[in-house]
């Protein structure tokens, strides 16, 4: 689990470099990616967790990124985008693709739909984190308007 | 003079939008800049494909956006400039200069992004069920993918076709190694392809959706789906030919 989190953190950093994020900010993304991966794996230990792990991971990424953005006064996307990449259900899409190519339509649909739901879980996690934390962290944006 | 300032502000918004910033951030930044240069009232409508600005005295500017890319450095830099300018409004010429520099900003040179793509692909293959032997092939796949994508982005080939061709190239190392039992071709293939994932588009779509910018959220989701579709099409094309030629695939 620790090795996997380490790999997730390093992956985050590598993708951050690919998206032209500055190294001085990138270590934060790396830490966020590693913590989120660990949280997601911890949720996965629960029996019947299913896609809850992806949701938890995305929620952790979103929340920590909001905090980091407030701390460093930088756009949130800089921290979210590299960290969320490790959660993208690429392997599910690939398995669905191979199943379809081998005329195994049931398995293909199963993996494909799981991938879609995993992506939806990621989106929901990110959305909830932003929706909950923004009003708490930046109350001046939400009070005194109009 | 006001039109001059308005034009520079539109340039700033345009650069952010083409680099993948959220619509709310673009509108926010432009409003902040307009405020700093005492242009009022200003109304901004930003979309992933167009930017409309209505300035004072009925002046308005409309810009069409054809080319979009991912460059978080530009987003961060212009965001920083707008904050600096809001605190201390520098002369317009100086602002224009800083903006020009920010638009060309690339923190890392092109050859370095190929190395980063290789490292990223090699690492992510470990999260996708690969073993240590798969790191090197996945890294080769990632590097090839990034090289193809960069090469194509300078031509007139449509972006989606380019992604498809990059995905075709990404599958090649996995296809060559699939006949040997000790590799996990799936992990290698996914490692190479993950370099092409539209992660920024997806994240921005979600954030636009919460902010209430529905047009932008829907169009970015569609763009992400189109990219994903072309990548899957490219990868399955080669895999289909390989399987029909009787190739071994676990």
Report yes or no on B250 lying in a domain: no
pLDDT score for A117: 94
pLDDT score for A143: 65
Instruction: Report which secondary-structure segment, H or E, holds B104.
Output: none
B166: which 2 tokens? Answer: 């990059």
What is the C-alpha separation between B4 and B177, in angstroms, rounded? 59
pLDDT score for B102: 83
Strands B60-64 and B43-46: unpaired
CB–CB of A21 and B72 under 8 A?
A: yes
Q: Please check whether residues B117 and B65 belong to one and the same domain.
A: no
pLDDT score for A37: 92
Among B103, B138, B163, residue at a domain's last position: B103
Instruction: Give the pLDDT mean for A30-35.
Output: 93
Instruction: Report which secondary-structure segment, H or E, holds B43.
Output: strand B43-46
Report yes or no on B249 lying in a domain: no
CB–CB of A21 and B76 under 8 A?
A: yes
Q: Considering its fold, how many domains does chain B have in total? A: 2
Instruction: Give the pLDDT mean for A9-23.
Output: 87
pLDDT band (50, 70, 90) for residue B11: confident
Q: Please check whether residues B117 and B238 belong to one and the same domain.
A: yes
What is the C-alpha separation between A114 and A98, in angstroms, rounded? 15
Residue-range domain boundaries for chain A: 2-142
Nearest-CA distance A37 → chain B (Å): 10
Which of these ranges, A28-32, A72-76, A81-85, B114-118, has the smallest mean pLDDT?
A72-76
Report yes or no on B53 lying in a domain: yes
The residues that bridge with A92 in the sheet, in sequence order, are: none
- Residue-range definition of the domain harbouring residue B213: 110-244
Q: In this complex, which of A22, A126, A131 lies closest to B107 when CB atoms are compared?
A: A22
Q: In this complex, which of B105, B186, B200 lies closest to A19 when CB atoms are compared?
A: B200
pLDDT of residue B1 exceeding 50: no
Report yes or no on B19 lying in a domain: yes
Minimal CA–CA distance to A121: which of A57, A54, A60? A54
Residues B235/B168, Cβ–Cβ less than 8 Å = yes
CB–CB of B72 and A94 under 8 A?
A: no
CB–CB of B236 and A101 under 8 A?
A: yes
B90: which 2 tokens? Answer: 């520098």
Neighbouring C-beta atoms of residue B73, cutoff 10 Å: 18
Q: Please check whether residues B148 and B238 belong to one and the same domain.
A: yes
ipTM: 0.85
What is the C-alpha separation between A110 and B100, in angstroms, rounded? 49
B-contacting residues in A 62-101 (Cβ below 8 Å): 73-78, 80-82, 84-86, 88, 90-91, 93-95, 97-98, 100-101
Q: Please check whether residues B78 and B114 belong to one and the same domain.
A: no
What is the C-alpha separation between B123 and A18, in angstroms, rounded? 13
pLDDT of residue B90 exceeding 90: no
Among B86, B103, B120, residue at a domain's last position: B103
Burial, B38: exposed, middle or buried (Cβ in 10 Å; 0-12, 13-18, 19+)?
Answer: exposed
Provide long-range contacts, Cβ within 8 A and 24+ apart, for A56-60.
Answer: A56/A125, A57/A87, A57/A122, A57/A125, A58/A84, A58/A87, A58/A121, A58/A122, A58/A123, A58/A124, A58/A125, A58/A126, A58/A129, A59/A125, A59/A126, A59/A128, A59/A129, A60/A32, A60/A35, A60/A36, A60/A125, A60/A129
Positive/negative CA dihedral, A84, A17, A8, A73 = negative
pLDDT tens track for A87-143:
988 889 989 999 998 889 999 999 999 999 999 999 999 999 988 888 888 777 666
Positive/negative CA dihedral, B221, A33, A12, A44 = negative
Whole-number mean pLDDT of chain A? 88
Cβ contacts (< 8 Å) between B21 and chain A: which residues? 75, 77
Among B83, B103, B123, residue at a domain's last position: B103
CB–CB of B72 and A101 under 8 A?
A: no
The position carrying tokens 């002046």 is: B59
Q: Which of A3, A9, A14 to mutate to test the interface with B (most CBs of B within 10 A)?
A: A14
CB–CB of B186 and A76 under 8 A?
A: no
pLDDT tens track for A60-77:
999 999 999 989 888 888
pLDDT of residue B167 exceeding 90: yes
Instruction: Give the pLDDT mean for B167-182.
Output: 87
Whole-number mean pLDDT of chain B? 86
Q: Please check whether residues B43 and B91 belong to one and the same domain.
A: yes
């Amino acid at each position: 689990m620790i090795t996997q989190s380490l790999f997730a953190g390093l992956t985050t950093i590598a993708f951050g470099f690919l998206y032209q994020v500055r190294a001085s900010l990138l270590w934060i993304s790396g830490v966020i990616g590693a913590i989120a991966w660990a949280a997601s794996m911890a949720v996965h230990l629960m029996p019947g967790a299913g896609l809850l792990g992806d949701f938890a991971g995305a929620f952790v990424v979103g929340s920590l990124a909001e905090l980091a953005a407030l701390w460093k006064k930088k756009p949130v996307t800089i921290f979210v985008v590299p960290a969320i990449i490790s959660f993208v259900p690429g392997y599910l899409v690939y398995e669905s693709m191979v199943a379809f190519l081998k005329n195994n339509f049931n398995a293909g649909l199963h993996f494909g739909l799981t991938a879609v739901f995993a992506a939806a879980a990621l989106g929901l996690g990110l959305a909830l984190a932003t929706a909950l934390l923004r009003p708490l962290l930046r109350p001046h944006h939400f009070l005194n308007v109009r | 003079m006001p039109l001059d300032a308005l034009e520079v502000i539109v340039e700033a918004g345009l650069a952010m939008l083409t680099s993948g910033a959220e619509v709310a951030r673009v509108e926010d930044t432009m409003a902040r800049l307009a405020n700093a240069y005492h242009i009022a009232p200003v109304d901004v409508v930003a979309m992933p494909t167009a930017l409309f600005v209505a300035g004072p005295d009925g002046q308005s500017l409309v810009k069409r956006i054809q080319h979009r890319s991912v460059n978080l450095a530009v987003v961060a830099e212009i965001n920083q400039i707008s904050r600096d300018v809001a605190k201390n409004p520098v002369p317009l010429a100086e602002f224009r200069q800083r903006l020009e520099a920010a638009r060309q900003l690339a923190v890392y040179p092109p050859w370095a992004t190929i190395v980063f793509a290789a490292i990223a692909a090699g690492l992510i293959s470990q999260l996708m069920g690969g073993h240590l032997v798969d790191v090197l092939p996945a890294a080769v796949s990632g590097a090839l993918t990034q090289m193809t994508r960069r090469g194509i982005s300078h031509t007139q080939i449509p972006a989606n076709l380019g992604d498809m061709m990059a995905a075709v190239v990404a599958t090649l190392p996995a296809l060559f190694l699939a006949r040997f039992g000790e590799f996990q071709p799936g992990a290698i293939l996914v490692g190479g392809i993950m370099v092409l994932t539209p992660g920024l588009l997806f994240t921005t779509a979600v954030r636009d959706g919460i902010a209430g910018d529905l047009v932008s959220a829907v169009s970015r989701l569609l763009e992400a789906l189109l990219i994903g579709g072309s990548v899957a099409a490219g990868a399955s094309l080669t895999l289909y030919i390989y399987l029909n030629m009787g190739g071994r695939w676990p």
